[in-house]
Amino acid sequence: MATILVTGCAGFIGSHLTEKFLNKGHQVVGIDNFDPFYDRSVKEKNMQGFISNESFRFFELDLAEQSSLMNGLENSKIDAIVHLAGKAGVRPSIEDPQGYIRANIVATQNILDLMKERHIRKLAFASSSSVYGNTKETPFHENQDVSNPISPYAFTKKACELLNYTYHSLHKLDIVNMRFFTVFGPRQRPDLAIHKFTRLITNGKEIPMFGDGSTSRDYTYVADTVDGIYRIVDYLFNKDEVYEIVNLGNNQPVTLRDMIASIERATGQKANIKQLPMQPGDVDITFANIDKAKAMFGYNPQFAFDKGIENFVAWYQHG
């Protein structure tokens, strides 16, 4: 069994992925800096199921501090890295581009330097569907031109993909850039729409709807995303000279109005909607072509959107 470094292991996707690796018999080295973007206690709760697992080691450190990263992992043997950590969110990135450059680009540079120094060859990197911007061609496929990002967040993710290619080319690192599409499910970040709307609806409060409700997202249930990441790591272990970009989406966009209706059904409560203008940096649609992921490593999303919403609401209500 391998030893996997998971950055952002206390986060939404990272905690689910860590559990999967541990359940499959792997060793996991986890890193998180408990970024104050949301409350530390949420992330600590995410880790409750594995923090005391004897196959798990945890380091609280900032990836953008290179010496902390190098020194912290000095005695850890690592076979592959899944780099999920970073500042998330399109709208906050418009207010703090420098913070996103540090947490996303500088941190990724440090991960790549760690790989070069320690002869770690395999990297799965968390990119984002936001790199596609407002392209009119749907569904989005990996060969599209993504040189027009419309938020600092999207820019940092595209920049990291390019950085990864440079290190692949210069230092023969095997890398897959994973473009995630609106991942949701239990433990979803509290700032994201499904979590936020569920909280407001169940508390009888007004929910903000930006635009007319026709914008759509390719919502992907967290278990499907985690299965895709796990398959990518397995793919990396069985291939050499790899540099790939793959979409990990669901291939079934859901409109904002339909998303709200699904939460209403799952909670049994009616939403009080306040319509607002579209927000800067938001895109009209995300829609993943997942043919490449299916062909490369058998990726095949299993969860229907409504079932995923039911699971999320049950988690939200019962913890």
Residue 153 designated active-site: yes
CA distance 222 to 84: 13
What 3-state class would DSSP assign to 82?
A: strand
Which residues, 6 or more positions from 127, have their beta carbon under 8 angstroms from its beta carbon?
Answer: 157, 158, 160, 161, 177, 178, 179, 180, 245
Question: How far apart, in Å, do the first and last CA atoms of the chain sit?
Answer: 32
Pairing of strands 254-255, 216-217: antiparallel
CA distance 319 to 317: 6
Residue 269: closest CA among 182, 211, 206: 206
- In the numeric block, which tokens belong to residue 180? 């995630």
Measured from the Cβ of residue 295, the count of other Cβ atoms closer than 10 Å reads: 10
Tell me which of 100, 132, 153, 221 is the catalytic residue.
Answer: 153
What 3-state class would DSSP assign to 221?
A: strand
CA distance 112 to 164: 8
CA distance 41 to 35: 11
Residue 219: closest CA among 160, 176, 262, 273: 262
Residues β-bridged to residue 217: 254
Question: Catalytic residue positions?
Answer: 153
